[in-house]
Copies of this chain bind each other. A is one copy, B any other.
Amino acid sequence: MSHSLGVRQAQKQKTRQALLDGALGLLEEQSLSSLGLREVTRVVGIAPTAFYRHFRDMGELGVALVEEALGSLHVMVRAILAEQDGAEERIDRTVAVVEQHVRRYPLHIRFVARERHGGVRAVRQAIAGELDRFAEEVAAALKTQPVSEGWCDDDVRMLAELYVDRLVMTAAALLDAEADGVEGAAGQVVRVARRQLRLISIGRRHWREEK
C-alpha cells in the first residue's frame, strides 16, 4: 500500500474537512439549527449543491462534528487519567490539561457546550452518547484507584458523571472568560475549579464512612 488513498478520495476528504472546518468557524457565533447550508459552502468556496456529495443535511454534518470534537476530548481525558500522583497533584494537572485543551481547541469546546442542549436532536443524542462512553471510561479508571475500595459500581459511576460534567462546565466557563477579555477572569475560573475538584475529592475520601 504505497498510497493509502487515490487522488479522487483524497480530494473528497479534503473538501469534506473544509466543510467541517468552515462550519465550525461559523458556529462560533451562532447555533447549528440556524446555520445554513449555503452559508457553509460560501465560506468554503464551493457550490451549494456540492454539499450533498458529503452530507445529507446540516444535522448529519453536526454529528460528524461531534465525533471530531469529542475525539479530541478523549485524548485529553486519557492524559488526565494516566497520572498516578497524589490527589492534589492530580487535580492541578487535570485543570491544567483542561486549560491547555481549551486554548488549543476553543471551537470544539464551544460547539459541544452549545449543542449539548441545542436544537438538533440527532446532535444532542450524539453528544450524550459520547459523554456517556466518556463517563464509563472515567469510571473504569476511578475504580482501579485505592480510594475506591468498597465502592459499588453505581456509586463509582455517579462520581464519574460528576467529574465529567464538572470538566465540561469548567471548559465552557474558561472559554467564556477568555472571550469576555476581562483580565484575570480565566485565572479566577481555574482557581475556583481547582477548589471544587478538591471538595469533591474530599467527599470521595469520606464517602464510605457515612451512610
| A181–chain B nearest beta-carbon distance, Å | 13
Contact with B along A190-205 (1 / 0, CB 8 A): 0010011011111111
What is the bound-complex CA distance between A33 and B113, given in angstroms?
A: 16
Say yes or no for A31: interface residue by CB 8 A criterion. yes
What is the bound-complex CA distance between A163 and B141, given in angstroms?
A: 25
**Identical subunits present:** 2
Q: Which of B32, B117, B121 contacts A113 (CB 8 A)?
A: B117
| A170–chain B nearest beta-carbon distance, Å | 10
Of the four ranges (under 10, 10 to 19, 20 to 34, 35 or more), the interface on chain A belongs to 35 or more
Say yes or no for A159: interface residue by CB 8 A criterion. yes
Contact with B along A140-169 (1 / 0, CB 8 A): 000000000000000100110110010001
| A189–chain B nearest beta-carbon distance, Å | 10
Q: Which of B32, B110, B203 contacts A199 (CB 8 A)?
A: B203
Chain B residues near A158 (CB, 8 Å)? 192, 195-196, 199
Interface residues of A in 112-142 (CB under 8 A from B): 113-114, 116-119, 121, 128
What is the bound-complex CA distance between A210 and B202, given in angstroms?
A: 8
Main SS class of interface, A: helix
Interface residues of A in 51-101 (CB under 8 A from B): none
In the complex, the answer to whether B165 meets A169 with C-beta atoms within 8 Å is yes
Chain B residues near A105 (CB, 8 Å)? none
In the complex, the answer to whether A207 meets B196 with C-beta atoms within 8 Å is no
User: Can you pick out 9 interface pairs between chain A and chain B where the beta carbons lie within 8 Å of each other?
Assistant: A31-B34, A34-B119, A114-B117, A114-B118, A117-B117, A159-B199, A169-B169, A199-B203, A202-B202
Q: Which 9 A-B pairs have the closest CB atoms?
A: A203-B203, A34-B34, A31-B119, A33-B34, A30-B119, A199-B203, A202-B203, A113-B117, A31-B31
